[in-house]
């Protein structure tokens, strides 16, 4: 029989996609008020990895990843997705965009050797976490860096993404060792 252990807190991360940098900044401001200071942010890059969002969000999309300084308890971490959905709705209601979905906020977390994304969509490689939210291990830490899996989205496999998550994970490891 295995011993039940205390689970370390996790480091929240968010990917933000929008056609305007001002919407990305607005999301960062709201997220900072809820989760505290950002400790790392990637460069903003054109979102050319897939056309999945084109119909609902339009063309000329941009992508940025951020991580937060404050660690959160692993229990209930799925609520990040529920809250990010509410933030998306808040930004949509406040704006004048003509697109169906002006912003996409993809939350997840870094923990013991992995990056987990939170999603409302179930699939064979996703585990149910609670309140309609599933978790998907998207990157695994191996040989000193994150590595993609067969289902890892192209934007999470990009060089800038891997560099961002490697750095955020190293920060996380220092945080939990203190």
pLDDT per position as a tens digit, 103-143: 999 999 999 999 999 999 999 999 999 999 999 999 999 99
Checking if the pLDDT of 1 tops 80, the result is: yes
Checking if the pLDDT of 177 tops 90, the result is: yes
- pLDDT of res. 35: 96
Return the axis-axis angle of helices 79-94 and 21-35, rounded to nearest 10°.
130
Checking if the pLDDT of 94 tops 90, the result is: no
Closest CA to 34 of 48, 51, 14: 14
How far is it, in rounded angstroms, from Cα 144 to Cα 155? 20
Residue with tokens 């979905």: 101
Checking if the pLDDT of 5 tops 90, the result is: no
What's the chain's average pLDDT?
94
Closest CA to 68 of 33, 42, 38, 41: 38
Checking if the pLDDT of 97 tops 80, the result is: no
Closest CA to 66 of 102, 92, 27, 95: 27
- pLDDT of res. 99: 85
pLDDT per position as a tens digit, 57-77: 999 999 999 999 999 999 999
Residue 65, both tokens: 């990843």
Checking if the pLDDT of 96 tops 80, the result is: no
Residue 77, both tokens: 């971490």
- pLDDT of res. 38: 98
- At 96 the three-state DSSP class reads coil
- At 149 the three-state DSSP class reads coil
């Amino acid at each position: 029989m295995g011993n039940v252990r205390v689970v370390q807190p996790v480091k929240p991360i968010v990917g933000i996609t929008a056609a305007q940098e001002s919407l990305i900044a607005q999301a960062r401001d709201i997220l900072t008020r809820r989760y505290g200071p950002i400790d790392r942010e990637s460069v903003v890059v054109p979102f050319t990895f897939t056309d999945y969002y084109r119909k609902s969000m339009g063309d000329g999309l941009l992508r940025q990843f951020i991580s937060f300084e404050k660690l959160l308890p692993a229990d209930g971490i799925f609520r990040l997705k529920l809250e990010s959905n509410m933030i998306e709705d808040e930004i949509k209601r406040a704006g004048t965009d003509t697109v169906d979905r002006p912003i996409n906020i993809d939350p997840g977390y870094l923990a013991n050797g992995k990056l987990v994304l939170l999603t409302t969509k179930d699939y064979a490689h996703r585990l149910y976490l609670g309140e309609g939210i599933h978790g998907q291990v998207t990157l695994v830490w191996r040989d000193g860096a994150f590595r993609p899996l067969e289902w890892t989205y192209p934007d999470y496999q990009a060089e800038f993404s891997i560099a961002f998550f490697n750095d955020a994970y190293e920060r996380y490891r220092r945080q939990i060792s203190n």
